[in-house]
């Protein structure tokens, strides 16, 4: 039995070592899929086998939609704005994905601080140039006092704005680039959309295109280690049945977010980058009822921002209600969901009633719910800077790491597309160079 196992492994290793014209992409999120498609579309890779290895059983990573009855809900990425995310918009258009207006740019039941907030933020923005390394919250406190600063961040609904690593510049970027609060910035009026079948439909279309172009997919392959040997890299995976699997690779793209990179034994980020990285948790909770009672309150397709742990409550047409939280309140909801379902639902319903100033007795009991906690929902470079390269490379450019976190669009699918395509360009340049060198050698 043992002998058999080792002879299989030996054959595998032998096979993979001789078959060295392989480009391996690790991670089948939007970054990995975008990379694979760009590589597959180039003549320069015609002699190469393209492979994608994915830890999970599905494609898409943080683009994760599920079906509930006859509609899709986005547990992960959920919306885009063509003005901010042109690559996403173009791709969806090319793939003929059905989109609809993401209507949550109109706040109902305004928070007391919303009045005049746009003007306050515009005035404060002028003072950023003279701020010195302080966080957005410290910056606010200097100019508005402690109490008012708390009230402002509470009114903005995104608790990452409290974090010490969020500078005033990043905070303004957050305010200007989120649909619910862009109305407090000059971006008021940007249009937002979502996919009727959820963002997973985009991942599925990319997967189908890639598979059609000959890209091989390996699911339940978790990269656990790699070694670089002469011109090649030997990738070690843990498979679904606990066996170890090796693959040999001429070029390797690690389309993995920084937290996944850090969990590999490859000294990330120290020997890869001069930057350091952080992430924040996110939580989305969806509640379903047997009738859309919120229509009686004229709340369809509206969002409200509240001073309670629900933070942002969205009333999706006549279909469902969802809430979306980040940072400390994402962790809060993780703890709530670890209690019984009854307790969790009681807490949610009590807070919805409070937010709408209605007695909980007037609200019907939900018939079902779904939720998802993402421990590292948004990943970013701590020293956010336009100088961060979209790809990090080692071993003479043979191993490349890429993520939306390295781009100016960290936390967005747009960044994933840019990252994946940049990784592909990095390899294509090397292939082009070696082709030119081969031709030059033949001429000489």
Ligand X SMILES: Cc1cc2nc3c(=O)[nH]c(=O)nc-3n(C[C@H](O)[C@H](O)[C@H](O)COP(=O)(O)OP(=O)(O)OC[C@H]3O[C@@H](n4cnc5c(N)ncnc54)[C@H](O)[C@@H]3O)c2cc1C
Binding flag, residue 171, ligand X (CB under 6 A):
no
Binding flag, residue 392, ligand X (CB under 6 A):
no
Which of 255, 267, 260, 222 is CA-nearest to residue 376? 260
Instruction: Say which residue the tokens 């690779």 belong to.
Output: 249
Contact in structure between 28 and 61 (CB atoms under 8 Å): yes
Q: Which of 38, 51, 62, 302 binds ligand X (CB under 6 A)?
A: 62
Binding flag, residue 51, ligand X (CB under 6 A):
no
Tokens representing residue 311 in the block? 């933070």
Binding flag, residue 29, ligand X (CB under 6 A):
yes
Length of the chain, please? 444
Binding flag, residue 415, ligand X (CB under 6 A):
yes
Contact in structure between 135 and 165 (CB atoms under 8 Å): yes
Q: Which of 25, 51, 54, 163 binds ligand X (CB under 6 A)?
A: 54
Binding flag, residue 78, ligand X (CB under 6 A):
yes
Give one word for 327, left, alpha or beta, with left for phi > 0 and alpha for psi -120 to 50: left
Q: Kindly state the smallest distance separating residue 68's Cβ from ligand X, in Å.
A: 16
Considering the complex, state which of residue 151 and residue 156 has its C-beta at the smaller distance from ligand X.
156
Binding flag, residue 159, ligand X (CB under 6 A):
no
Binding flag, residue 53, ligand X (CB under 6 A):
yes
**391-394, strands of its sheet edge to edge:** 216-218, 49-53, 22-26, 251-254, 399-402, 391-394
Tell me the C-alpha to C-alpha distance, in Å, between residue 310 and each of 221, 299, 327, 355.
36, 16, 12, 9
Contact in structure between 179 and 65 (CB atoms under 8 Å): no
Considering the complex, state which of residue 166 and residue 235 has its C-beta at the smaller distance from ligand X.
235
Contact in structure between 410 and 170 (CB atoms under 8 Å): no
Considering the complex, state which of residue 54 and residue 197 has its C-beta at the smaller distance from ligand X.
54
Each residue 418-437 as x (binds ligand X by CB under 6 A) or -, in order, gives --------------------
Task: Give residues 211-250 in contact with ligand X (rule: CB under 6 A).
Answer: 222-223
Tell me the C-alpha to C-alpha distance, in Å, between residue 66 and each of 286, 366, 416.
12, 19, 21
Contact in structure between 285 and 347 (CB atoms under 8 Å): no
- Label each residue of 126-188 as H, E or C: CCHHHCCCCCHHHHHHHHHCHHHHHHHHHHHCCHHHHCCCCCHHHHHHHHHCCCCCHHHCCCC
Considering the complex, state which of residue 27 and residue 103 has its C-beta at the smaller distance from ligand X.
27
Tokens representing residue 159 in the block? 């608790």
Binding flag, residue 374, ligand X (CB under 6 A):
yes
Binding flag, residue 28, ligand X (CB under 6 A):
yes
Q: Kindly state the smallest distance separating residue 43's Cβ from ligand X, in Å.
A: 26
Q: Kindly state the smallest distance separating residue 319's Cβ from ligand X, in Å.
A: 18
Stretch that binds ligand X, among 113-121, 156-164, 270-278, 412-420 (CB under 6 A): 412-420
* 3-class secondary structure, 258: helix
Tokens representing residue 283 in the block? 């939580």
Size, binding site for ligand X by CB under 6 A: 37
Considering the complex, state which of residue 91 and residue 151 has its C-beta at the smaller distance from ligand X.
91
Tokens representing residue 184 in the block? 């407090």
Considering the complex, state which of residue 151 and residue 170 has its C-beta at the smaller distance from ligand X.
170
Q: Which of 174, 255, 280, 313 binds ligand X (CB under 6 A)?
A: 255
Which of 326, 315, 339, 318 is CA-nearest to residue 284? 326
DSSP string for residues in 294-345: GGGGT-TTEEEE-SSTT-EEEEETTTEEEEEEETHHHHHHHHHHTS-HHHHH
Each residue 7-26 as x (binds ligand X by CB under 6 A) or -, in order, gives -------------------x
Q: Which of 235, 404, 421, 427 binds ligand X (CB under 6 A)?
A: 404
Binding flag, residue 79, ligand X (CB under 6 A):
yes
- Paired with 65 in beta bridges are 74
Q: Kindly state the smallest distance separating residue 278's Cβ from ligand X, in Å.
A: 15
Stretch that binds ligand X, among 11-19, 70-78, 109-117, 181-189 (CB under 6 A): 70-78
Distance CA 93, CA 98 (A): 9
Binding flag, residue 56, ligand X (CB under 6 A):
yes
Q: Which of 39, 63, 124, 392 binds ligand X (CB under 6 A)?
A: 63
Distance CA 158, CA 136 (A): 12
Q: Kindly state the smallest distance separating residue 252's Cβ from ligand X, in Å.
A: 12
Binding flag, residue 411, ligand X (CB under 6 A):
yes
Residue 66 CA neighbour count, 13 Å, CB half: 9
Q: Which of 30, 161, 210, 427 binds ligand X (CB under 6 A)?
A: 30
Considering the complex, state which of residue 152 and residue 401 has its C-beta at the smaller distance from ligand X.
401
* Binding residues vs ligand X (CB under 6 A): 26-32, 53-56, 61-63, 76-80, 222-223, 255-257, 260, 282, 284, 374, 377, 403-404, 411-416
């Amino acid at each position: 039995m043992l002998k058999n196992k080792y002879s299989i492994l030996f054959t595998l290793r032998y096979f993979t070592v001789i078959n060295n014209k392989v480009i391996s992409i690790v991670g089948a999120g939007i970054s990995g899929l975008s990379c694979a498609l760009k590589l597959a579309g180039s003549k320069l890779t015609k002699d190469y086998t393209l492979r994608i290895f994915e830890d999970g059983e599905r494609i898409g990573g943080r683009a994760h939609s599920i079906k509930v009855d006859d509609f899709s809900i986005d547990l992960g990425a959920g919306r885009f704005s063509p003005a901010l995310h042109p690559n996403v918009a173009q791709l969806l258009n090319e793939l003929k994905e059905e989109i609809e207006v993401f209507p949550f740019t109109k706040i109902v039941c305004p928070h007391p601080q919303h009045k005049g907030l746009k003007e306050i933020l515009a005035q404060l923005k002028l003072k950023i140039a003279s701020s010195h390394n302080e966080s957005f919250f410290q910056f606010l406190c200097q100019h508005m006092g402690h109490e008012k600063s708390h009230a402002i961040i509470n009114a903005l609904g995104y608790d990452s704005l409290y974090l010490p690593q969020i500078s005033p510049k990043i905070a303004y970027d957050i305010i200007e680039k989120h649909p619910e609060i862009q109305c407090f910035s000059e971006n008021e009026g940007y249009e937002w959309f979502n996919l009727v079948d959820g963002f997973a439909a985009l991942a599925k279309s990319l997967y189908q295109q890639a598979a059609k172009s000959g890209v091989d997919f390996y699911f339940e392959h978790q990269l656990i280690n790699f070694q670089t040997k002469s011109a090649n890299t030997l990738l070690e995976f843990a498979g679904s049945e606990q066996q170890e699997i090796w693959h040999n690779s001429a070029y390797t793209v690690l389309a993995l977010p920084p937290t996944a990179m850090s969990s590999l034994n490859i000294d990330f980020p120290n020997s890869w980058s001069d930057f350091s990285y952080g992430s924040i948790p996110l939580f989305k909770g969806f509640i379903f009822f047997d009738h859309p009672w919120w229509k009686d309150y004229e709340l369809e397709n509206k969002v409200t921002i509240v001073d309670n742990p629900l933070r942002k409550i969205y009333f999706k047409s006549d279909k469902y209600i969802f809430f979306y939280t980040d940072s400390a309140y994402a962790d809060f909801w993780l703890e709530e969901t670890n209690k019984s379902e009854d307790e969790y639902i009681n807490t949610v319903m009590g807070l919805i009633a409070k937010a709408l100033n209605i007695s909980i007795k007037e609200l019907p009991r939900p018939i079902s719910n779904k939720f998802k906690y993402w421990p590292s929902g948004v990943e970013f470079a701590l020293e956010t800077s336009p100088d961060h390269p979209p790809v990090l490379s080692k071993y003479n450019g043979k191993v490349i790491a890429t993520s939306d976190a390295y781009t100016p669009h960290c936390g967005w699918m747009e960044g994933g597309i840019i990252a994946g395509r940049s990784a592909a360009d990095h390899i294509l340049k090397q292939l082009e160079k070696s082709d030119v060198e081969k031709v030059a050698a033949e001429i000489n």
